Amino acid sequence: MGFEKINDYIYLTTDESFYDVVAAALVLPTKLVMIDTGIHLGKMKEFREWVERETGKKFAVLFITHFHGDHTFGNQIFSDCRIISPEIQSDYLKMLKEYLTEENIAKEQSHLKDPKALEGFEMTLSTETFLDQFELIDGDVKVIAKHVGGHTNDSTYIYCPSYKALFAGDNLFVDSNPYGGHSSCNPDIWMDVYKEILTLDADIIIPGHGPVTDKSYVEKSLANFELMKKSMKDLVEEGRTEDDVKELFHQRFFPPKDLKNPEDKSLDSGTVSRWYDVWIKGAK
């Protein structure tokens, strides 16, 4: 798990052992803001201590981009902070907490390389909620959390116009396939989110997974989504069966990550199925 100082205002931690999931710290005039909390408790605790030591400031607020465990399992490290999320996200976190019995925590741990990653884990919930948008102002710096949907229907981006920085959560995957298999994922809304991001004054874009990028990658991602939608609809118009459409689409846009095991389609099959439901069957 790497720690990185991007500039005087942004610190990142990336967990290479779990799909390069990213969490970030934002340095405000009088306090620190955390954005997502990763999945490794020990490393997140180290990251918090490192950023507070480097900046001489304390964490006071946590924003969450969406409820998935790789972005929220470290919440307990920030249980002394205001934990702010959209109402729908708060509801998801409550359901996640109910799901995470000892047996299911063990299942989650089995997917991680470090057997101690979830040692002492307790699911920590939001303490404050909002509907569409929340603004945090500290001195002359504003931080905006906006509920937008897309990757999941609770997905939220965090935007700091003063620092020209935007934290996209899993509405942006850099150098990896986008995951859109959740039952609430809507790729059309996802594209609208890309279009909205492109209107903002943001030079630094932090994805949910992968390295820091800029608007050029958002433009590239939007173009790829538009191509995927057209290609899927073209396959249907050719008279292909649903199974054929999904298989051909998968081959074209989600090549296997492990060339030694091309049958391992892992998370991508769920994405293709969900997008077929939205783009072809008209699911919401």
pLDDT tens by residue, 158-216: 999 999 999 999 999 999 899 999 999 999 999 999 999 999 999 999 999 999 999 99
User: 162 Cβ partners below 8 Å, 6+ apart?
Assistant: 140, 141, 142
The CATH number covering residue 69 comes to 3.60.15.10
How far apart CA 96 and CA 186 sit, in angstroms, is 21
Determine the distance from the C-alpha atom of residue 5 to the mean position of all C-alpha atoms in its chain, rounded to a whole number: 20
71/149 same-domain check: yes
Is 220 inside a domain boundary?
Answer: no
Per-residue pLDDT of the chain (284 residues; tens, 9 = 90+): 689 999 999 999 999 878 899 999 999 999 999 999 999 999 999 999 999 999 999 999 999 999 999 999 999 999 999 999 999 999 999 999 999 999 999 999 988 888 899 999 999 999 999 999 999 999 999 999 999 999 999 999 999 999 999 999 999 999 989 999 999 999 999 999 999 999 999 999 999 999 999 999 999 999 999 999 999 999 999 999 999 999 999 889 987 654 444 444 567 899 999 999 999 999 98
Residue where a domain terminates, one of 160, 194, 215: 215
Q: Which domain holds residue 58?
A: 2-215
205/263 same-domain check: no
163/141 same-domain check: yes
196/261 same-domain check: no
The reported pLDDT for the residue numbered 254 is 87
264/141 same-domain check: no
Q: pTM here?
A: 0.94
245/127 same-domain check: no
* Number of domains into which the chain is organized: 2
- CA-wise closest residue to 159 among 219, 215, 126, 206: 206
The reported pLDDT for the residue numbered 2 is 86
The reported pLDDT for the residue numbered 217 is 98
The reported pLDDT for the residue numbered 93 is 97
The reported pLDDT for the residue numbered 284 is 83
- Alpha-carbon torsion angle 173, 84, 147, 49, nearest 10: -20
Is 284 inside a domain boundary?
Answer: no
Residue where a domain terminates, one of 188, 215, 242: 215
How far apart CA 245 and CA 250 sit, in angstroms, is 8
Is 239 inside a domain boundary?
Answer: yes
Whole-number Cα distances in Å, 186 to 37, 85, 176: 24, 20, 19
SS3 annotation, 35-89: ECCCCCHHHHHHHHHHHHHHHCCCEEEEECCCCCHHHHHHHHHHCCCEEEEEHHH
137/192 same-domain check: yes
The reported pLDDT for the residue numbered 1 is 67
Is 95 inside a domain boundary?
Answer: yes
Instruction: Tell me the sheet residues that pair with 80.
Output: none
